Structure 1
Amino acid sequence: MLARRRLALLALVGLLAVPSQEAQAQEAAAGVPELDAWVGRTLETFEVPGVAVTIVKDGEVVLATGYGVRRIGEATPVDERTRFGIASNTKAFTATALGILVEDGKLEWDGRVIDYLPWFRMWDPWVTRELTVRDLLVHRSGLGLGQGDLLYWPESDISRREIVEAVRHLEPATSFRSAYAYDNILYHAAALVIEEVSGQTWEDFVDSRIIEPLGMSDTRVTRAATLEEGNVATPHARIEGEVRPVQPLAATATNAAGGINSTAADMAKWLIVQLDSGRVAGADRVFSAGTTRQLWTPVTPMPIGRAPAGLEPLQAQFQGYGLGFVIRDYRGHKMVTHTGGLPGYVSRVAMIPGLKLGIAVLTNQEMGVAFESITARILDHYLDAEPVDWITGFSDLMARRDSVVAATEQSTAAERDTASRPSLNLAAFAGTYTDAWYGDVMIAEGAGGLEIQFSRTESLLGDLEHWQYDTFFVRWRDRELRADAFITFELATDGSVAGARMKAASPSVDFSYDFHDLDLRRKP
């Protein structure tokens, strides 16, 4: 069944990846040889239903078009006005908004956060006093990778203010300003700073000071826009072996870290303004060259690994995080870039300032190698680089990674002691557990065994299957989550259950499911 469905998908994508006459004319203007065929092969190879591609050069739009379909199994094509979630590419908009407020004289990059949000607290009082607006954006606060994301990923009922108030309970993974670790949660604090000093919500400020002046008329500043009717790409992902539509993440409290929905045509306007230091043709500046320098200056050094086999031209010589952007080199040129990832949407923005070249690739399937293959092909053309078969290189990389994940999962299963039994009867594990930053997690005994429900997150409802000793496998009923976990119960000296710790069951689980940061204590 799955094999037949996969072949049907490939046939559909291959048919609909052929662009319109308008797109073919744009490709000729862009001068990227055989780009249409390259994009079509990318969609087919990586089973991506649709993609929007933007290229700007020297202040002009040379390509803004769509390929493939908005929804698998349907014929409606992606075009230049089809909206996609751009996810963490939103962070550059938040950073730009702060830059505008700096220019307005309403805040300072190195002003202390508590001077704008007096109630704000980090775990450490000294860090609370020293944390600056700049620190909110550059991933050097001491928090771990994705720490705190479980508050709102998957979708929960928590507010922006509640998210930021919970930061005080997140014990840091490293010391302040000593290491890079990507986080989302402090961008929500940045949104509250914007709201405090501007008197507008983050959404209204970004809309009125960036989106409207740039003429990005099809762009929406909230994740809820993914639920609208009309020219919207449906998010997709591989669920238990099959690519299919998935429910979008529509919570609005976290818009500042990843909520914008945009199009190929509108991303062209954003890229042109970024590459021209805030100038809008025929209108006033949106921001100054000084803000551009701030956004594009590395602040936090990022680790540099060895480029994977077959992808050697990707090797970086320098890499750092600026304000909402990653700054690194590509084939000897400075590149300003970022990626974005949400359920069913992944994307890449890349700019080569020295060439006034900007690229955006937005997709509606969780397959980052697709946008990487397209972006690299376009970059290589404009850099006059030796052609590389990026599609094959990334395909091979995926196969190696899948093999590593499978081996890890098999090793975990092989180490399981299937003869072991829990220390107590199942009813003894039932109860309400609480974590200082998340809140309550309920475990109850149902007809089929133990069940778990996170109080703030409706979709985190699952069944506990005994794994070994006092560890249980958590199988979420919503299989779109792809985030099964282990929960291990801890006993007190009197033999009762005192608490529990959790961790992801597979390395394939998204880092935003930071179960390992929970310290669940059983309530009396």
Structure 2
Amino acid sequence: MMQTPTRRLLMAAFTLSLLSACGGGDDPPPATSVNKLLSVSTAPAGSAQAARPDVDAYVQEMVKQHGLPGLSLAVMENGQLVYAKAYGYANLESAVPAKPEHRFEIGSISKSFVALGVMLLVEEGKINLEARAETYLGPLPPALASITVRQLLAHTSGLQENLDAAGTRAVSARTSLITEAETLELIKPMPLLFAPGSSWSYSNLGYDMLGFVISKVSGKFYGDFLQERVFGPLKMTETRLIKPYGPTAGTVMGYQREGTAVRPYVRSEVWRSWASQGEGSIESTTLDMVKYNAELRQQTLLSPQGYAQMWTANALVQARKDPNNRFDSDIHYGLGWMLSNVDGHFKVYHSGGMPAFTTDFIRYPDDGISVLVLTNLGEAGEAPMKVSRYVAKMFRPALPYCCDR
């Protein structure tokens, strides 16, 4: 099925969120043809999961069709991992096969963690969703002064998606890592797209500001707050914020297309420090994300009422176009999550895109099935979304038709 205009818009937004701004190295590594390498797949160490040759064949086909260097997949039923496998390579140049234990940048799926961090502080009475953001950040320019925390969470603030050209140039010219306070100063003079609360438009900058709110209210860097309150309690030992000083062991290499080949993508340290902000800052493994999915079902960190707020429509993203098509539906945004109800099947999901990674995480809470797809290619397009939805239907045939192979 063709992707809806809004989905195309969102994937473009996620994929391009840092693409135009992030600087690469002075001497980029050579490009590699993905098709020259053998097809490989790796299950988790010690796994006794049931074989699914149909899933393997489909995913291998998609990896080849879309020229993906690597892909990591996890399927969860009723909060439990039932299938995990990585396909292709963590590093093409060294021919290192991808493993479910490898870390990928998860892109805008990170926004759900930032939203969870905000909601934890809401339940402690330290943040009010209806309060103005400047209550926590200090005075903002008049145009931004009325923006509320809820509007930042729901993308109804009117903030632009990314830095403007002037801001991008300012960051690129830096020789030192950028701070939260310096980022906020770049956001302040940017004009709004609309009056706060009057419409919907996806904003990475809004989630950067939410990270700043967490830092101000908690008294610690928001990444440390997430480590202490989310990653640690859930034993997500391989999950962390992107480090300013380059990838380390266990993190896959990310790639960008160059003609029919792909080239490793290397950020400058300045842009790596930008990437550690709220819009798309987290790198994780499929196995760690299984623990996150289990929490979303068991709801031990946040109350059921808190999670319900996150999964309640706050803004209409796209209205249903064909009332006679039962597979068409309204698309809404909650707090950190996209929401839709297709043919009676409630769906909670978020995609992610970084310069060298594209991802998708989809949950059907009432059907008890969740699928996570992580890839290390920035221009993977709709491939992760196709895989997540098609694989979900392979495990739950009653789910609505989603997409062509």
SS at match of 2:353: strand
Aligned residue for 1:255, secondary structure, equals coil
Partner of 2:99, secondary structure, is coil
The answer to whether the 8 A contact 2:88-2:97 is kept is yes
Q: In the alignment, what sits opposite 1:290?
A: 305
Kept in 2: contact 1:16–1:77 (CA 8 A): no
1:329-340 correspondence runs (5 A) = 329-340=341-352
1:50-92 deviation per Cα after TM superposition (whole angstroms, max 9, x unaligned): 1111111112111233111112243211112100000111111
Contact in 2 for aligned 1:64/1:80 (Cα 8 Å): yes
Summarize the alignment of residues 9-88 of structure 1 with structure 2, pairs less than 5 Å apart: 9-12=34-37, 15-20=38-43, 25-28=48-51, 34-88=54-108
Structure 2 equivalent of residue 259 of structure 1: 281
1:105 matched to 2:128? The reply is no
- Secondary structure of the 2:279 match is helix
Give a deviation string over 1:452-507, Cα, whole Å, max 9, x none.
xxxxxxxxxxxxxxxxxxxxxxxxxxxxxxxxxxxxxxxxxxxxxxxxxxxxxxxx
- Residue by residue over 1:326-351, the C-alpha shift from the partner in whole angstroms, topping out at 9 and shown as x without a partner, is 11124431111111111110100111
Judging changes above 3 Å, is the alpha-carbon distance between structure 1 residues 113 and 241 closer, same or farther for their aligned structure 2 residues?
A: same
The equivalences for 1:290-329 within 5 A come to 290-304=305-319, 315-329=327-341
Whole-Å separation in 2 of the counterparts to 1:24 and 1:313 = 41
**Could you tell me how far apart the structure 2 residues matched to 1:11 and 1:313 are?**
43
Write the distance in 1 (CA, Å) between the matches of 2:46 and 2:328.
Answer: 33
CA distance in 1, matches of 2:34, 2:124: 51
- CA 1:22–1:202 in structure 2 vs 1: closer, same or farther (change >3 Å)? closer
Question: How far apart in 1 are the matches of 2:306 and 2:326?
Answer: 28
Residue identity over aligned pairs, in percent, reads 27
- How many residue pairs were aligned? 366
Structure 2 residue aligned with 1:238, among 235, 254, 257? 257
Give the letter for the 1:267 counterpart.
M
The answer as to whether partners of 1:111 and 1:132 remain within 8 angstroms in 2 is yes
Contact 2:76–2:370 (Cα < 8 Å) also in 1 = yes
Describe the SS at the equivalent of 2:96. Answer: coil
Counterpart residue number, 2:356: 344
Q: CA deviation at 1:313?
A: 9.2
CA deviation after TM superposition for structure 1 residue 384, in Å = 1.2
The 1-side partners of 2:287 and 2:272 are apart by: 23
Query: Cα deviations across residues 407-465 of structure 1 (Å, max 9, x unaligned)?
Result: xxxxxxxxxxxxxxxxxxxxxxxxxxxxxxxxxxxxxxxxxxxxxxxxxxxxxxxxxxx
1:218 and 2:233 matched: no
Deviates more, 1:327-336 or 1:40-49: 327-336
Alignment check: 8 A CA contact 2:211 2:222 kept: yes
Q: Which residue does 2:393 correspond to in 1?
A: 380
Q: Aligned in 2, Cα 1:154/1:52: closer, same or farther, shift over 3 Å?
A: farther
Give 1:512's aligned residue: none
**Equivalent position of 2:5 in the other structure:** none
1:135 aligns with 2:148: no
> Which of 168, 193, 215 is 1:173 aligned to?
193
In the aligned structure 2, how far is the partner of 1:20 from the partner of 1:383? 21
The residue aligned with 1:356 is: 368
SS of residue in 2 equivalent to 1:334: strand
Q: 1:25 Cα shift?
A: 4.9
Deviations 1:319-375 (A, max 9, x none): 111111111124431111111111110100111111232211100012032212211
For residue 180 of structure 1, give the secondary structure of its aligned residue in structure 2.
Answer: coil
1:269 partnered with 2:291: yes
**Secondary structure in 2 aligned to 1:338?**
strand
Structure showing greater relative contact order (alpha-carbon pairs closer than 8 Å, 6 or more residues apart) = 2
Aligned to 2:15: none
Partner AA of 1:268 in structure 2:
V
Deviation at 1:305, TM superposition (A): 7.1
Q: Is 1:369 the equivalent of 2:389?
A: no
- Checking the alignment, whether the CA contact within 8 Å between 1:147 and 1:183 is kept in structure 2 is no
Q: Structure 2 matches for 1:454-469, cutoff 5 A?
A: none
Secondary structure, aligned partner of 2:213 = helix
Give the CA deviation at 1:9.
2.3
Report deviation, 1:223: 4.6
Q: Secondary structure at the match of 1:213?
A: coil
- 8 A Cα contact 1:27 1:35, kept in partner: no
Which whole-Å deviations, capped at 9, do the CAs of 1:27-71 have from their partners, x for residues lacking one?
Answer: 53xxx5611111111110100011111111112111233111112
Whether the 8 Å CA contact 2:343–2:400 is kept in 1: the answer is: no
Amino acid of the structure 2 residue aligned with 1:325: W
Distance 1:109 1:388, change over 3 A: closer
Deviations 1:240-286 (CA, angstroms, capped at 9, x unpaired): 45322111452246421111000010010011101222x2xxxxxx2
User: Structure 1, unaligned stretches of length 5 or more?
Assistant: 280-285, 393-524
Q: Deviations over 1:292-331 (max 9, x none)?
A: 0111111111024769xxxx99954121111111111244
Deviations 1:134-189 (A, max 9, x none): 11111111234445487359964443212222333111222322221111112121
Larger Rg: 1
Further displaced range: 327-336 or 245-254:
245-254
Q: Give, as a single letter, the amino acid of the residue that structure 1 aligns with 2:49.
A: Q
Gaps of at least 5 residues in structure 2 are 1-30
**Residue type at the aligned position of 2:329:** Q
Q: Does the CA-based 8 Å contact 1:113-1:131 persist in structure 2?
A: yes
State TM-score, norm by structure 2. Answer: 0.82
1:167 and 1:20, CA in 2 relative to 1: closer, same or farther beyond 3 A? Answer: closer
Distance 1:341 1:373, change over 3 A: same
